[in-house]
Structure 1
Amino acid sequence: MPPTLTIALAQNNPTVGALDVNADLVRRDRATAADLNADLVVFGELNMTGYPPEDLVRKPAFQRRIEAEVSALARETADGGPALLVGAPWRSGGKLWNAALLLGDGRIMEIRAKHHLPNYGVFDEMRVFDAGPLPEPMNFRGRRLGVMICEDMWYQDVARHLALQGAEMLIVPNGSPFEVGKAGRRMDLATSRARETELPLIYVNLVGGQDELAFDGASFVSDRQGKILRRDKGWDESVIATHWTYDDNRWRCTPGEVIDKPGQMESIYRAMVVGLRDYVKKNGFPGVVLGLSGGIDSALSAAVAVDALGPEQVLTVMMPSPYTSTESLEDASEVARLLGTRLESISIGPAMEAFGTMLDPLFAETQADTTEENIQSRSRGLLLMALSNKFGHMLLTTGNKSEMSVGYATLYGDMCGGYSVLKDLYKTTVFSLCEWRNNHRPDGLLGPDGPVMPQRVIDKPPSAELKPDQTDQDSLPPYDVLDAILTGLVEDERSLEDLVADGHDPDLIKRVWRLLDLAEYKRRQAPPGVKISARAFGRDRRYPITNGFTKLVSKG
């Protein structure tokens, strides 16, 4: 009979730094793989520490604990069960590697280091790791496994070298975070590497949330022409067995279930849910609290929170002022009813009066302006933070990327909080997601079937309601125009001339550009939020606060 292998793909959800917890996840998945008669279990990149561990890996005590946990797992493989291919930082010869370690027969059998260290966007691996040499194939039961870690798949040289050194298949452990459009690029690269080397390819990705990053799983197997033979579900932990036969001098995988990739709206929504869920749970919060205004941003934030945590862990608070419309009160109440959350109401009128009295001696000779409006927002922030402090719930902020881009947000007011699920979503995407969620509820979400907000919340003009008859468009251009300009400036780094050629007014472009740069100091103080795009504020896009270039642009 020809040689056979059963290789299990284990996409799990590690917690950065929780070495004992992560080791137990490996044990759990190994037991599942043993029931599937697996010979080898492949895990994602740095699954032992979680990804990205950042400067935590610099601590010698942390490094020693990693080595102890990996060594303990290696000893356990003496039981005759499946071997393990795990990811961990590893010290060797005075260097610290992002490594893949093959554990079997009671020992550490092979170690390979990541060759290409990403140093762009959210990735800072050159800061903490040393680059390894071009890897040689790993020997496993007389076979030659070509292991290349995550970024190594994005270049031709590693796969080519492995093939030339006799690798019989390619295995790619990944810690590849979600962003819109990235799944297609992964597939294109995997297909290219398979075709170039004429080797089948196994791709195993992490799942779960880590601070601003969300990992979408969707592990897969392709044949040597890049055809997908197996694809696992996205966003959830799982262990699947793939069956291989060595025939005609090559490994062939038995085709199995190829789960369809979710559409863009579902992918974005799941990223928000997973990012919030794991931020709350991994940091030990009992739930979240958020202000429910009757507007679209807070309604979508509340829906994501309920889908992530369940209605019993979400406290919503309406904080009306004299400018709050009856319509907003009704809409907030209906959102809470549809989601099944507890809704409290605390008027900020007394706070406005108190601050007015305190400040009147200094403000007496001045005209009311945005200062008084910001006092309203900060009064709400103070109340919500008080509830967070008293009951332990994390405060969820509700601002979107359009607002944060141009500074249409109040420091220590509506920016107060621990996490923001809309941080990387432009307002036009917020509208689309609300329409989508009202008509779809993917499996695994904890919120209700059917609509999660009244249609009126989506249709009415957005307003902060900080003065009579106010709408966002009093201060901002229409969101479809604003978002198109911001996409050009933020995501694409396009020039003034390029945007004018698209038909945008040059004076409006200069105004938006100036607002974008002026608001950098606010964004530095904003809470983290789940990454959706290729250019999320914070880790992806880092601009100086003191920045004179915008002045040159505005002068023409």
Structure 2
Amino acid sequence: MKIVTAQLNYTIGDMAGNANKIIDVIATQGNRADLIVFSELCITGYYPKDLLDREGFIDAQMLELDRIKKATEGMNSAIVVGVVMRNPMAGKKHLNALLFIEDGMVIYQYNKQLLPTYGVFDEARHFEPGGQVGAMTWRGKRVGFLICEDAWEDAGKPLYQKDPVAQLADCNCDVIVSINASPYNIYKRQSRAEVIKNIVKTCDCDVVYVNQVGGIDDLVFDGNSRIMRSNGYWISEAPEFEESVDFVDIRRQAPVDCRPDVSMKLMVKQLVMGLRDYCVKSGFKQVLVGSSGGIDSAVTLAICALAMGPENVVAVTMPSKYSSAGSVDDSVSLCAALGVELVESPIKETFEVEIQSYTEAFGEAPSGLAQENLQARIRGQRLMTLSNSTGAMVVSTGNKTELSVGYCTLYGDMAGGLSILADLYKGQVYDMANYLNEWEFRREVIPFAIITKEPSAELAEGQADTDSLPPYDQLDAYLQLILEGDLLNLDERLVLEGIAGEMPIEDKDRVRKMLDRNEYKRRQAPPLIRVNRRSFGADRQIPLTINYSTKRL
């Protein structure tokens, strides 16, 4: 069988644009292959959420589906396409479906059986689960079907009452087609490869796995579509984080070596695509970043330059009386190396006027902590004013460690339209800085002085992050155990427990309280790009008004 895997970047709600991409592939590949496979919910884009209930949304998809069906008329290829179908029976109004279309006609429909409601997923909110096994005979071949989660049931840790892969084991399939909208997070390549291997082992047949690519809000889909033969050899692997249409003659294709998993390389590509797609699909052409001369803003600026082009990035350094000369100088060096425009806009006078105005109104000066946060809020206000004036989007610079414990200022450094480092622990930010210099730029773009200097918010005289927080290596390890402990393997847990074990008990108690107490800040934070296995937001839902303490690890 000759297969084309179509790994495309879709925009939610742009049914005409998405359909045009699909039709273009049919036009160029339709007489070359036997089957063209597209991904899950590819006409609407994944995941439409409550747009599914908006009047006219499904009708608009059906109009584009008619165009796609017409494009297949007279072609040698059949196609597999993921769509939303109306549920004619009792239950939720919609079905997450796969259509098999040949010569303008739908000849088979399979409805997704397993609807994930964990992590970032909430498909049971809108869809009714399918009930039938997905298998048909076509051109003398037995073809099986899965839709994303259908393939992920783990017999050792079952989440569902049935296993679609086990169902297909009795269908004598020659090939199983799995269409997916599977977002990337760290180590996803390994777990996805294991899922595909399990299908091959269980069903003893070839597996065609097609995934979408592109950024959708906080999720970034990496693609990495693959084909594995029944003998366990990979014969096709599409690239990560880019569109790819690949022709594979399954019977004749020689085995290929799958690329090694270089997590930091993939993480950089993920952030670049996530930011670029967020801006392009939302209509932003330029971004703004507050440049403090610290590690977080430096890495943020580097990612912005890679994603948007340095000509579409403006950095603003806003020194106060507490800012070191080195921080400003480091911002100058960084932006010169990146080719990014740097604007200096001091806040010293504005800060003094605000202190005087407050004192006159309330009879005393703000507290020391309030004065520290006031500086951050002046900077946030200045960036947002520039954003309002130019139409450029502010990119927030905070990391996951600081966001976890509330070491950030609401309406200050948290201001922005997207926070690209908010799911990276502090240590990962440092690792990314070193990776960018060594492998992406292959020169010292992020100044060594920024990477080696002691972290400081520079909101008070002689301030250092360690005045308020435990050492970052210990804090990162302890937070990862709390936030992602159930998702770690044994080796990872043992390493993290060893590092976190150096933290005094009183610091652990304080960190847990800070984590719970600052949920209100995270609710008001800009959206982030999900990188690790559990992020803040939909991935971790905690009430604001609670009276419960996390058990000490």
TM-score by length of 2: 0.93
| Contact 1:146–1:163 (Cα < 8 Å) also in 2 | no
CA-to-aligned-CA distance 1:382-440 (integer Å, 9 cap, x gap): 10001111111011000000100000010000000000110100001101110011011
Where 1:351 maps in the other structure, the secondary structure is: helix
> Match of 2:219?
213
CA RMSD in angstroms comes to 2.0
> Match of 2:397?
398
Residues of 1 paired with 2:42 and 2:130: CA distance? 19
> Match of 1:124?
122
| Contact 2:4–2:37 (Cα < 8 Å) also in 1 | yes
2:467 maps to a residue whose letter is: D
Alignment of structure 1 residues 95-106 onto 2, 5 Å: 95-106=93-104
| Contact 1:33–1:239 (Cα < 8 Å) also in 2 | no
Residues of 2 paired with 1:414 and 1:493: CA distance? 31
The answer to whether 1:66 aligns with 2:61 is yes
The answer to whether 1:52 aligns with 2:47 is yes
User: CA distance change for structure 1 residues 515 and 331 in 2, over 3 Å: closer, same or farther?
Assistant: same
CA-to-aligned-CA distance 1:135-164 (integer Å, 9 cap, x gap): 231343342210100111113731232242
The answer to whether 1:149 aligns with 2:155 is no
Residues of 2 paired with 1:390 and 1:32: CA distance? 44
> Match of 1:264?
263
- Equivalent of residue 200 in structure 2, options 194, 210, 222: 194
Task: Structure 2: give runs of 5+ residues left out of the alignment.
Answer: 156-162, 488-495
Q: Alpha-carbon deviation of 1:210? A: 0.5
| Contact 1:177–1:214 (Cα < 8 Å) also in 2 | yes
Residues of 2 paired with 1:204 and 1:367: CA distance? 57
> Match of 2:159?
none
**Percentage of pairs with the same residue:** 38
| Contact 2:234–2:256 (Cα < 8 Å) also in 1 | no
Where 1:29 maps in the other structure, the secondary structure is: helix
Residues of 2 paired with 1:211 and 1:66: CA distance? 21
Alignment of structure 1 residues 34-53 onto 2, 5 Å: 34=30, 37-53=32-48
1:347 maps to a residue whose letter is: P
Residues of 1 paired with 2:198 and 2:143: CA distance? 18
- Equivalent of residue 11 in structure 2, options 15, 18, 39: 15
> Match of 1:28?
24
Alignment of structure 1 residues 147-296 onto 2, 5 Å: 147-155=145-153, 157-245=163-251, 254-255=253-254, 257-296=256-295
TM-score by length of 1: 0.92
1:528 maps to a residue whose letter is: P
Q: Alpha-carbon deviation of 1:258? A: 4.0
Residues of 1 paired with 2:199 and 2:255: CA distance? 21
User: CA distance change for structure 1 residues 180 and 337 in 2, over 3 Å: closer, same or farther?
Assistant: same
- The number of equivalent residue pairs is 533
User: CA distance change for structure 1 residues 553 and 135 in 2, over 3 Å: closer, same or farther?
Assistant: closer
Residues of 2 paired with 1:259 and 1:46: CA distance? 27
Q: Alpha-carbon deviation of 1:166? A: 3.7
| Contact 1:77–1:106 (Cα < 8 Å) also in 2 | yes
Residues of 2 paired with 1:310 and 1:262: CA distance? 26
> Match of 1:481?
474
CA-to-aligned-CA distance 1:421-478 (integer Å, 9 cap, x gap): 101000011011100110112xxxxxx5533211110000111111111111111111
> Match of 2:464?
471
Greater Cα shift, 421-430 or 353-362: 353-362
Greater Cα shift, 465-474 or 217-226: 217-226
Where 2:142 maps in the other structure, the secondary structure is: strand
Where 2:125 maps in the other structure, the secondary structure is: helix
| Contact 2:73–2:104 (Cα < 8 Å) also in 1 | yes
Where 1:344 maps in the other structure, the secondary structure is: strand
Residues of 2 paired with 1:105 and 1:437: CA distance? 49
Greater Cα shift, 316-325 or 151-160: 151-160
CA-to-aligned-CA distance 1:161-203 (integer Å, 9 cap, x gap): 2242342211111111011112111111211111111111111
| Contact 2:313–2:341 (Cα < 8 Å) also in 1 | yes
Residues of 1 paired with 2:526 and 2:194: CA distance? 34
